[in-house]
Amino acid sequence: MAKRIIPCLDVRNGRVVKGVHFKGLRDAGDPAELAKRYEEDGADEIVFLDITASIEGRRPFFDAIKRASEDVFVPLTVGGGIRSMEDIAALLRSGADKVSINTSAVQDFGLIMKASDHYGSQCIVVAVDAKGDGASKWDVFISAGGRATGLDAVEWCKKAQELGAGEILLTSIDADGTKAGYDIELTRTVSESVGIPVIASGGAGNADHVYDVLTKGKADAALAASIFHYGLYSISGLKGELARRGLNVRL
């Protein structure tokens, strides 16, 4: 299977933002405009995350997704503020191809089961925000990384698969926004523990980091934000570099 390169659009108040360790957010542009630009540059998929919806207790940003889906034809994964089957249905009607559930998945295991049974596991992505606690263990955090759950990240990923998740979006809080590289050990441990695709997130700073997480980390896809938003790499340029190193990517 070809390795996927996925730009991530973290959205707050209708604008794409990016920070470090989920904090210090800076404006990075309009979501629909960025999504179209990334599609034209070769993105395999695009992830939209409404990063404050769960904290603010509001529903996802349906209008922005509908606007983006009218001009973007690669798969769209949308997360943030999803609390019910009704939210999932509304997002899919708005143009999302997959939904990413994080906080609500932890709070209500049944939501994963019901959603995967009704819409198919291919539509259901469980997002896992993990922070290291030493000794090669990682804790699961929810509410945009602001609340510890006491769950072990690797065990939670395995449980999410059992409940019906079709994919894991795995973010290292420790690496997020640092551009110092993905958490290879975390990604590899989860990838070897589940039988569904793992999207690695958090820490991309250059082509070496992406190559490492797709090979040493055994991820099926690499998600990145800062390197694309601020012009450090184009998606096509990054894919070309990965292909020259022997990775199977869609050019």
Catalytic residue list: 10, 129
In the block, tokens 């509304």 appear at: 90
What span, in angstroms and rounded, lies between the C-alpha atoms of 75 and 95? 9
- Alpha-carbon distance values, 2 to 46, 219, 243 (Å): 16, 11, 10
Output 25-28 pairs: Cβ under 8 A, ≥24 positions apart.
28/225, 28/229, 28/230
CB-based contact 75:98 (threshold 8 Å): yes
In the block, tokens 């990054």 appear at: 238
Give 3-state DSSP helix, strand, coil % of the chain, rounded to 5: 40, 30, 35
- Alpha-carbon distance values, 52 to 30, 103, 107, 159, 168 (Å): 17, 11, 17, 25, 20
Nearest to 125 by CA among 115, 117, 138: 115
